[in-house]
């Protein structure tokens, strides 16, 4: 990247943090072994990282999601994990993707439509919450690239608050009310909610106990020692075994977390929780 281009991108990113603008997408194509051409809508927000879809990613999810299975992507963003999950589940399977951000949800929907011949994905513009309701969505960036929900207009997610509220659903109730979800085996749940994964786990705890899916979530860098200990205890109490893993790749490093203190070994990492 040349100096002029670097300066230009830096200015664009700075502006995206301060000035709201709606961004479109550019379609990228990836040749994924076993699936052929997979298309991906890259959100053109300057703050968004480049995304890709690879056979290695799909093979990671295939370890836990079998053809015909049901999987859930909570905090799906634009679909960079949703699409590989959908490819693993196949057209006879089902992935339920949730994201409360309406600007990101447009791109997620585009990605689903671009690949509808290979995946069966049901998307909902909502967050996973303990109770059904509407919530404020706030972000530290005017572009709403990152953010989260709250019952209060002023909250820790940032000073930029959407004018419209966003939807929250109790996931277990929603699944029980939809036959297409109930009739399939729930094998996998992924959570990525910008540091609030533990709160989401609390909201879906009954679902984990009853359906016993593999669970992936993020141990956020700002998560307190006590919260790390609490989530370890909560999941091990219902007979889950926790692991560190190095990312959504086929040959990811996986290290078992044997004690609650192991949750302190890394500042920010992903957790793979498997039912016994």
Give the gyration radius of the chain's Cα atoms: 19
pLDDT, residue 6, reads 73
In a domain, 239, yes or no: no
**CATH number for position 202:** 3.40.50
**13-54: pLDDT as tens digits:** 999 899 989 999 999 999 999 999 999 999 999 999 999 999
Q: What is the pLDDT of residues 180-239, one digit of tens each?
A: 888 889 999 999 998 889 999 999 999 999 999 999 999 999 999 999 999 999 999 999
- Return the pLDDT at 1: 62
Q: What is the mean pLDDT of residues 69-98?
A: 97
Measured between alpha carbons, how far is residue 118 from residues 39, 109, 172, 198, 216 in Å? 11, 15, 27, 32, 24
Please provide residue 107's backbone torsions phi and psi, each rounded to the nearest 5 degrees: -75, -40
Instruction: Give whole-number Cα distances, 84 to 8, 24, 81, 89, 105, in Å.
Output: 33, 22, 5, 9, 17
Residue 138 lies in a domain: yes
- Look up the domain containing 184 and give its range: 3-212
Residue 4 — very low, low, confident or very high, per pLDDT cuts 50/70/90? confident
| Residue 29 resides in a domain | yes
**Domain contains 146:** yes
For residues 78-93, give the mean pLDDT.
97
| Across 234-257, average pLDDT | 97
Does residue 232 form part of some domain?
Answer: no
> Which string of b and e fits 3-29 if b means at least 16 CB within 10 Å?
eeeeeeeeeebeebbeeeeebebeeee
| 211 phi, psi to nearest 5 deg | -100, -25
Give me the pLDDT at residue 10, please.
Answer: 87
> Would residue 125 count as lying in a domain?
yes
Q: Is residue 253 domain-resident?
A: no
Based on the structure, what is the number of domains in the chain?
1
In this prediction the pTM is 0.95
Domain-embedded: residue 121: yes
pLDDT given for residue 104 in this prediction: 96
Tokens of 202: 């609390």
Write down the pLDDT at residue 95: 97
CB 215 within 8 A of CB 189: yes
Structure confidence at residue 56 (pLDDT): 98
């Amino acid at each position: 990247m040349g100096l002029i281009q670097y300066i230009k991108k830096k200015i664009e990113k700075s502006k995206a943090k301060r000035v709201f603008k709606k961004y479109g997408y550019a379609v990228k194509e990836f040749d994924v072994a076993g699936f052929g051409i997979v298309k991906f809508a890259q959100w053109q927000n300057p703050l968004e990282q480049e995304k890709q879809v690879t056979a290695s990613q799909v093979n990671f999810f295939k370890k836990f999601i079998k053809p015909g299975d049901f999987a859930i992507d909570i905090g799906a963003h634009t679909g960079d994990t949703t699409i590989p999950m959908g490819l693993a589940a196949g057209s006879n399977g089902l992935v339920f993707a949730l994201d409360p951000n309406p600007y990101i949800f447009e791109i997620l929907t585009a990605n689903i439509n671009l690949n509808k011949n290979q995946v069966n994905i049901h998307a909902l513009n909502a967050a996973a919450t303990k109770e059904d309701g509407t919530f404020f969505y706030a972000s530290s960036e005017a572009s709403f690239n990152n953010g989260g929900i709250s019952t209060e207009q002023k909250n820790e997610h940032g000073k930029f608050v959407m004018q419209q509220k966003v939807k929250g659903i109790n996931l277990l109730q929603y699944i029980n009310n939809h036959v297409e979800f109930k009739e399939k085996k729930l094998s996998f749940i992924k959570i990525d909610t910008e540091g609030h994964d533990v709160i989401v786990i609390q909201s879906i705890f009954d679902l984990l106990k009853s359906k016993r899916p593999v669970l992936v979530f993020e141990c956020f860098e700002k998560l307190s020692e006590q919260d790390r200990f609490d989530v370890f205890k909560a999941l091990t109490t219902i007979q889950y075994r926790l692991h560190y893993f190095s990312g959504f790749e086929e040959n990811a490093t996986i290290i078992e977390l044997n004690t609650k203190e192991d949750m302190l070994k890394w500042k920010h990492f992903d957790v793979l929780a498997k039912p016994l």
